[in-house]
Amino acid sequence: MLVLPAELTHARATACCRMLAQALHSDPSRAAVADASALRVFDSSALAVLLECRREALALGKSFAVSNPHPRLRALAALYGVSELLPDA
C-alpha cells in the first residue's frame, strides 16, 4: 500500500514522487494501491503525482488503483479528464 501524505501540493510533489517510486520498486506485489485517506490539502499536483505513480506501476507490470480518495480529488480528476486512469481500489 502506497500512503499519500496529508498535504500534497506543488511544493511537495517531487519528494512525494520519489517516495512513492521507491515504495513501488521495493514492494513485490502485483497490485499498487495508493491510499489517499490522509490527503486533505492538495492541488492539481496530487493528480500529477498519482499519474506518475500509475505510469511507474504499469512499467513494473503492476495494476494501479486509488483507495479512499477525497471527493474533491475525484472532482479534480473528472475536471481534468483523468478519472478512468485513477480507478477506485
Provide the residue ranges of all domains of the chain, joining segments of one domain with +. 2-85
Amino acid at 56: E
Residue-wise over 9-18: b if at least 16 C-beta within 10 A, else e? eeebbeebbe
Number of Cβ within 10 Å of residue 28's Cβ equals: 6
The CATH number given to 2-85 is: 3.30.750.24
Instruction: Write down the pTM of the prediction.
Output: 0.95
Residue 21: all three cell numbers together: 517510486
Give per-residue pLDDT as tens, 18-60. 999 999 999 999 999 999 999 999 999 999 999 999 999 999 9
What nine digits make up the cell of 15? 519528494
In this structure, are residues 69 and 88 in contact, taking their beta carbons and an 8 Å threshold? yes
Residue position matching grid coordinates 486512469: 85
pLDDT at res. 79: 97
